[in-house]
Amino acid sequence: MKVPRNKRLMGKRNPRRNRQRFGGFFLFILVGVFLLFVFRFSYIVISGHVNDENLTKKASALYESSTVLRAKRGTIYDANGTEIAEDSTTYSVYAVLDKNYTGINHKKLYVTDKAKVAKVLSQYLPLDRAAILKRLNPANDKTFQVEFGSAGKGLSLTIKQAIEKANLNGIYFTETPARLYPNGIFASHQIGLAQTNTKATKVANAQNLVGIMGLEKTLNSTLAGTNGVKEVKEDSYGYQLPNTKAKKKAAKNGKNVYLTLDSRLQTYLETLMSNVQTKYQPKQLNAVLMNPKTGQILAASQRPTFNPETGSGLGNFWRDTLVGDSYEPGSVMKTFTLAAAIDKGKYQPNTNYQSGQITIGGTTIHDWNQTGWGSIPLSKAFPLSSNVGFVHIEQALGKDNWLNYIKKFQFLSKTNSLLSGEANGSIQYEHTSDQAVTSFGQGINVTVMQMMQGFSAIANDGKEMQPQIVSKVVDPVTGKTTKYKPHQVATPISKSTASQVLSAMEDVTYKDYGTGTAYQIPGYKIATKTGTAQISNANGAGYMTGDNNYIFSVVGMAPASDPKYVLYITMKQPQDMSQSATEILSEIFNPLMKRALDYDAGDTTTESKTMMPNITGKSVSAATAALKKENLQAVQIGTGDTVVQQMPLANEVILDDQRALILTNGAMTMPDVTGWSKSDVLKLAELTGKQITIKGTGYVTKQSLSEKSLLNSAKTITVTLSKP
């Protein structure tokens, strides 16, 4: 039956029925959502998980605080127990500027007096007030905090405490583990470097010191130790929650390492090396002093080098050239050729030969003076350093015998002296001419430490000792000591042979025709052998030409009758050849060898008169008085009243007319350098970290930055030297 149209319209227009239907539907949805929520909540409560996360652990973590208990890195000591590398802490300063940074009772924790902050910080940082104020007023007014660049980093505890005494609002410090190298340039590539390395751990981002070069790297696991951790439950204010206990796992400190280096000799060597480097500018310079009876390295250094305390020179040269560089040794190799021939019974000292030149395998070999000395006995070939004579000796010895002795002396193999980056060396031995030239140190590549190892056999009755730079490792907690005993690696020659070679080395020093007469030291008998090695061209085709394109060297053993010291020095391509190579090397060899022999004889009078006092941390007035007592002129660099660094370093050997540079807290200032030598100017650059351009030779007559001006006020500093 058809419903009338007016009744259908009335049904649609019934609002009460529509609300009831809509309400019922909404109630159904609401109940469904509620039941779903109840089910979900019950599941979370029962399981303790949501989205695969453990809520119990997550909630607990909100109240748990974990702190790394940093292990102390082991200290490196010299042979006499003097610290060479030790753990320290440095600080970085920063300023909070955000005015919303407040504490309890709305205490202001941001910078409130920028003028006062700039005044105080300028006294302790190498920045002036204007530079500090500029940082405290950044262009972005929403900046939360600002730092002060490198000037605000690496601060000592003394400087941090001095700044804190001023009670500056908004000034804070971050703490960073650091490695302290109190001796500055001191066998830098051999000791190496440890720097901070941030590692993500389960407890925090812990900063650890990690060795990145030298012994710091090779002995990193020994020195590093193991970090501990402290876990505690805290409230939102940082207080420990009641009825909770802190969990603590103690840190295990690293072990201490004792070296064979003698600080007295090492420091003196560094001074001598720096002087030669400054005066003659060789591209490379190496020196090692060793006890041949034990193989212990008493002093070792190289140039270029760096100061691990200031970072000066670090970016220029990372390689330890004593083990990492292989080179043709030149005529010092004749020491081993002679030893092999004597030991094999193939040396005929009274047999004459025609010096000057000889042709072997189609190659003509010349003596160093080209024309030679006419017909002379083989006994003169060694003191005269005759290449032709040693070709004859090698021919008599035989190629197989000679190669066998090269291997007996442990060439072509690493010494495993614990220094990092050691090379094996190599030899070119295919043709007759190759075999001949190895007799005088060409066609064979060696390292300095391989040479030192070989020299020990000559100086130690034929017993060859492994070079040793670590003497012992000590656990600071248990006291357990691991000693590194002297290790004999071979006996390549007899005692009689070693004695005869030493006698021939004496001839080099004392015969009027010997090449080593410059190395005579009054009061002591010295056995030496000199060397001049050609340098291969970069493309491998032939050798470089020019008077300075050589590796000049000398090895000396003393006392010659029973050597207690072997000193080997190499110098590559000196740019200033104002003296002969022999005279240049003698400026290192003679004073260092004499100092070692004097110490051995019990004569320490020189040392007591020439050691630089320790003035770091003292007031400027006290430091000046201490230097005046040593007849040294103090040169102040900085506006502060406390010495933070010094040059020369404490206990360093002081030479005549040497200036003492003292860097104070406060902004660094330019001293009057008129009359200074180039060496003094370079020390100023090293101490301040500033790039100083040096023009001319002689002594300073002009400086682009006037006295007492702030060093940071000039991008470049130029000084002009003139000869008097």
Q: How confident is the model at residue 436 (pLDDT cuts 50, 70, 90)?
A: very high
DSSP H or E stretch at residue 475: none
* Per-residue pLDDT at 18: 65
- Is the pLDDT assigned to residue 10 strictly greater than 70? no
- Is the pLDDT assigned to residue 45 strictly greater than 70? no
- Is the pLDDT assigned to residue 120 strictly greater than 50? yes
As a whole-number percent, the residues of the chain with pLDDT over 70 amount to 86
- Is the pLDDT assigned to residue 198 strictly greater than 60? no
Average pLDDT of span 295-306: 96
Residues 545, 433, single domain; the answer is yes
Find the radius of gyration of the CA atoms of the chain: 36
Among 571, 605, 639, the domain boundary falls at 605
Would residue 221 show up in a list of annotated catalytic residues for this protein?
A: no
Lowest-confidence pick of 41-50, 348-357, 430-439, 593-602: 41-50
Among 219, 243, 258, the domain boundary falls at 258
* Per-residue pLDDT at 178: 87
Question: What residues are paired with 85 via a beta bridge?
Answer: 76
Average pLDDT of span 188-213: 74
Distances 675 to 657, 662, 711 between C-alpha atoms, Å: 12, 18, 19
Q: What is the CATH number of the domain that holds 110?
A: 3.90.1310.10
Rounded CA separation 279/291 (Å): 29
Average pLDDT of span 470-483: 94
The answer, yes or no, to whether the previous bond of 574 is cis (omega within 30 of 0) is no
Question: What residues are paired with 635 via a beta bridge?
Answer: 661
Lowest-confidence pick of 56-65, 94-103, 447-456, 694-703: 56-65
- Is the pLDDT assigned to residue 472 strictly greater than 50? yes
Higher pLDDT, 679 or 457: 457
Rounded CA separation 49/454 (Å): 70
Lowest-confidence pick of 324-333, 490-499, 539-548: 539-548
Burial of 5 by CB count in 10 Å (0-12 exposed, 13-18 middle, 19+ buried)? exposed
Average pLDDT of span 242-266: 86
Higher pLDDT, 411 or 244: 411
The residue length of the chain stands at 724
Q: How confident is the model at residue 205 (pLDDT cuts 50, 70, 90)?
A: very low
Among 212, 241, 258, the domain boundary falls at 258
Most confident of 126-130, 171-175, 183-187, 410-414: 410-414
Q: Letter for the amino acid at 55?
A: L
- In the structure encoding, which two tokens stand for residue 537, read together? 């061209």
Residues 626, 594, single domain; the answer is no
* Per-residue pLDDT at 37: 67
Residues 618, 533, single domain; the answer is no
Q: How confident is the model at residue 608 (pLDDT cuts 50, 70, 90)?
A: very low
Q: What SS3 class is residue 30?
A: helix
Residues 19, 110, single domain; the answer is no
Most confident of 112-116, 174-178, 629-633, 658-662: 112-116
Rounded CA separation 646/680 (Å): 13
The answer, yes or no, to whether the previous bond of 304 is cis (omega within 30 of 0) is yes
Rounded CA separation 285/506 (Å): 25
Q: How confident is the model at residue 699 (pLDDT cuts 50, 70, 90)?
A: confident
Rounded CA separation 139/96 (Å): 15
Average pLDDT of span 522-539: 92
Which among 263, 312, 331, 439 is annotated as catalytic?
331
- Is the pLDDT assigned to residue 13 strictly greater than 60? no
* Per-residue pLDDT at 428: 94
Q: How confident is the model at residue 641 (pLDDT cuts 50, 70, 90)?
A: confident
Average pLDDT of span 62-67: 60
Rounded CA separation 245/319 (Å): 50
Number of domains composing the chain? 4
Residues 243, 348, single domain; the answer is no
Is residue 415 within 8 A of residue 422, CB to CB? The reply is yes
The answer, yes or no, to whether the previous bond of 559 is cis (omega within 30 of 0) is yes
Q: How confident is the model at residue 510 (pLDDT cuts 50, 70, 90)?
A: very high
Residues 220, 147, single domain; the answer is yes
Residues 175, 192, single domain; the answer is yes
Neighbours of 699 (CB within 10 A): 17
Average pLDDT of span 169-176: 92
Residues 105, 225, single domain; the answer is yes
Mean residue pLDDT across the chain: 86
Q: How confident is the model at residue 9 (pLDDT cuts 50, 70, 90)?
A: very low
Rounded CA separation 602/594 (Å): 12
Which among 717, 605, 722, 631 is positioned nearest to 671, based on CA atoms? 717
Residues 82, 215, single domain; the answer is yes
Lowest-confidence pick of 23-27, 371-375, 482-486, 707-711: 23-27
Rounded CA separation 381/332 (Å): 13
Q: How confident is the model at residue 202 (pLDDT cuts 50, 70, 90)?
A: very low
What does the H/E/C string look like for 277-330?
Answer: HHHHCEEEEEEEEEECCCCEEEEEEEECCCCCCCCCCCCCCCCCHHHHCCECCH
Which among 128, 167, 164, 166 is positioned nearest to 148, based on CA atoms? 128
Distances 381 to 113, 369, 582 between C-alpha atoms, Å: 81, 13, 19
Which among 655, 611, 566 is positioned nearest to 287, based on CA atoms? 566
Q: What is the CATH number of the domain that holds 569?
A: 3.40.710.10
- Is the pLDDT assigned to residue 46 strictly greater than 90? no
Q: Letter for the amino acid at 217?
A: K
Is residue 238 within 8 A of residue 231, CB to CB? The reply is no
- In the structure encoding, which two tokens stand for residue 379, read together? 């006994």
- Whose structure tokens read 């020439």? 610
Rounded CA separation 142/97 (Å): 8
- Is the pLDDT assigned to residue 719 strictly greater than 60? yes
Average pLDDT of span 289-301: 98
- Is the pLDDT assigned to residue 306 strictly greater than 60? yes
Average pLDDT of span 410-421: 94
* Per-residue pLDDT at 530: 98
* Per-residue pLDDT at 338: 98
User: Given the DSSP bridges, would you call strands 481-483 and 488-490 parallel, antiparallel or unpaired?
Assistant: unpaired
Rounded CA separation 68/202 (Å): 10
- Is the pLDDT assigned to residue 129 strictly greater than 80? yes
* Per-residue pLDDT at 208: 81
Question: What residues are paired with 419 via a beta bridge?
Answer: none
Residues 360, 410, single domain; the answer is yes
DSSP for 406-452 reads HHHTTTTS----S-SS----EE--SSHHHHHHGGGT-SEEB-HHHHH
* Per-residue pLDDT at 609: 46
Rounded CA separation 235/268 (Å): 58
Is residue 93 within 8 A of residue 111, CB to CB? The reply is no
- Measure CA 708 to chain center: 32
Distances 283 to 158, 276, 550, 573 between C-alpha atoms, Å: 39, 11, 11, 6
- In the structure encoding, which two tokens stand for residue 129, read together? 């007030």
Average pLDDT of span 620-646: 83
Average pLDDT of span 302-311: 88
Q: How confident is the model at residue 292 (pLDDT cuts 50, 70, 90)?
A: very high
Average pLDDT of span 437-452: 97
Which among 458, 549, 537, 462 is positioned nearest to 503, based on CA atoms? 458
Q: How confident is the model at residue 110 (pLDDT cuts 50, 70, 90)?
A: very high
Higher pLDDT, 158 or 672: 672
Sign of CA dihedral 632, 638, 639, 642: negative
Give helix 334-344 / helix 399-408 axis angle, nearest 10°: 110
Residues 310, 241, single domain; the answer is no
* Residues spanned by the domain of 649: 612-722
- Is the pLDDT assigned to residue 421 strictly greater than 80? yes
Residues 166, 249, single domain; the answer is yes
- Is the pLDDT assigned to residue 24 strictly greater than 80? no
Burial of 343 by CB count in 10 Å (0-12 exposed, 13-18 middle, 19+ buried)? buried
Q: How confident is the model at residue 203 (pLDDT cuts 50, 70, 90)?
A: very low
Is residue 462 within 8 A of residue 491, CB to CB? The reply is yes
